[in-house]
Amino acid sequence: MARIAVISFPGSNCDRDIITAIRDITGTEPNQFWHKESTMPRQDLVILPGGFSFGDYLRCGAIAARSPIMDEVLEHAWRGGYILGICNGFQILTEADLLPGTLMRNRGLRFVCRDVVLETHNSDNAILTGLNEGQKLRIPVAHNEGNYFADAATLKKIKDKGQIAFTYSGADQDPNYNPNGAIDDIAGIVSENGRVLGLMPHPERKADPIHGGLDGRLLLKSVIEAAS
């Protein structure tokens, strides 16, 4: 059974949701850690949930990335542990330099909450082996700063190394398929070792029959299985 940790910051607001989803999938309770804690026993998977960790002041995720628990998260990463950052969690991972690039304000300058279609690119990573290459997933986003950006050199590097995990897919003919202006439609990326995944959409919001779809549950299952 995988040891799964969920980290909460003061403004995390999707921690309960991801905990519920994990409990549903695994039948066990994940371990919870508070941002002020400075020790964390070994975990197989660490999850940074969505929310507004420190009110999104300064820059989303910037303050959280420098909180005490993050030293433990970094160490977990260096040991080759699995990490999933969702939305604000993704922002924290880029601020903590665990993932390249950054998440800027949405191109439309507005918060956007709606379903998007994701295309999976997993040929080169360990964390998504449970999904198929090209698999389409319908999962909602909800963010104000999801506009992924990396400079040309970084972008080339992450492409070469197969680090793009999800792109917003235009297959359903929606001209606004990319909700935030992310460069190359990038919705999620993985670390070079394929074990740290950050993505803007919220898989825990399509994880229960009442959510009108279970694609998020599929994604989470794959991450949990990879880490087990």
Partner 1 sequence: MVSITITIGLKDGVLDPEGRAIESSLNNLGYHEASEIKTGRLIRFTMDEADHARAHQKVSKMCETLLVNTVIEHYDITVEDLIEE
Partner 2 sequence: MTASADLSTEKQAAEMGLSADEFALICQRLGRTPNLTELGIFSAMWSEHCSYKSSRRWLKTLPTTGKQVIHGPGENAGVVDIGDGMAAVFKIESHNHPSFIEPYQGAATGVGGILRDVFTMGARPVALLNALRFGAPDHPLSRHLVGGVVSGIGGYGNCIGIPTVGGETHFDPSYNQNILVNAMAVGLAQADRIFLSAASGPGNPVIYIGAKTGRDGIHGATMASAEFSEEDSSKRPTVQVGDPLAGKLLMEASLELMASDSVVSIQDMGAAGLTSSSVEMSSKGGLGMEINLDKVPTREKGMIPYEIMLSESQERMLVVLKPDAMDRAKAIFDKWDLDFAVIGKVTDSGHLVLKTGDQVVADLPIAPLVEDAPEYDRDYKDTPTAKPIPNQDLITEMPLGEALIKMMGSHFLASRRWIYEQYDRHVMADTIIESGGDAAMIRVHNTQRGMSMTTDCTQRYVLADPFMGAMQAVAEAYRNITATGATPLATTNNLNFGNPEKPAIMGQIVGAIKGMGAACSALNTPIVSGNVSLYNETDGKAISPAPVIGMIGVIDDIAHAIKIAINAPDETVYIIGQAQDTNDGWLSNSVYAHVIADQTMASAPPPVDLTAEAKHGDMIRQLNTKGLITAAHDIGDGGALTALAEMVLAGSYGVELIGSDHQRSHGWAFGEDQGRYLIVTHDPDAVEVAAQAEHIPLQKIATTISAKELKLGNDDIISVTDLRSIHEGWLPNVMSQKKGA
| 11 forms part of the interface with partner 2 (CB under 8 A) | yes
The answer to whether residue 202 is catalytic is yes
| 51 forms part of the interface with partner 2 (CB under 8 A) | yes
Catalytic residue, chosen from 35, 60, 72, 87, is 87
| 75 forms part of the interface with partner 1 (CB under 8 A) | no
Q: Which two tokens stand for residue 175?
A: 């001209």
| 109 forms part of the interface with partner 1 (CB under 8 A) | yes
| 71 forms part of the interface with partner 1 (CB under 8 A) | no
For residues 7 to 46, the per-residue mask of contacts with partner 1, x marking binding by CB under 8 A and - elsewhere, is ----------------------------------------
The answer to whether residue 87 is catalytic is yes
| 144 forms part of the interface with partner 2 (CB under 8 A) | yes
Q: Which two tokens stand for residue 48?
A: 């940074």
Site for partner 2 in 179-208 (CB under 8 A): 202, 204-205, 207-208
Question: Taking the complex as a whole, how short is the minimal distance between the CB of residue 111 and partner 1, in angstroms?
Answer: 14
Q: In sequence order, what DSSP letters do the residues of 2-58 get, joined into one string?
A: --EEEEE-TTB-SHHHHHHHHHHHHSSPPEEEETT-------SEEEE--B-TTTT-S
Asked if 227 and 45 touch (Cβ cutoff 8 Å), the reply is yes
Which letter, b or e, does each residue of 57-67 get, where b requires 16 or more Cβ atoms within 10 Å of its Cβ?
A: eebbbbbbbeb
Residue-level length of the chain: 228
Choice from 32, 58, 97, 113 touching partner 2 (CB under 8 A): 113
Asked if 188 and 100 touch (Cβ cutoff 8 Å), the reply is no
* Bridge partner list, 46: 5, 83
Question: Taking the complex as a whole, how short is the minimal distance between the CB of residue 207 and partner 2, in angstroms?
Answer: 7
Taking CB under 8 A as the binding criterion, the range among 114-122, 123-131, 146-154, 202-210 that sits at the site for partner 1 is 146-154
* Bridge partner list, 143: 112
Residues 6+ apart with CB under 8 A from 94: 61, 100, 101, 102, 103, 198
95 contact, one of partner 1, partner 2, none, CB 5-8 Å limit per kind: partner 1
Residues that bind partner 2 (CB under 8 A): 10-11, 13-14, 16-17, 20-21, 34, 36, 50-52, 54-57, 110-114, 140, 142, 144, 202, 204-205, 207-208, 210-211
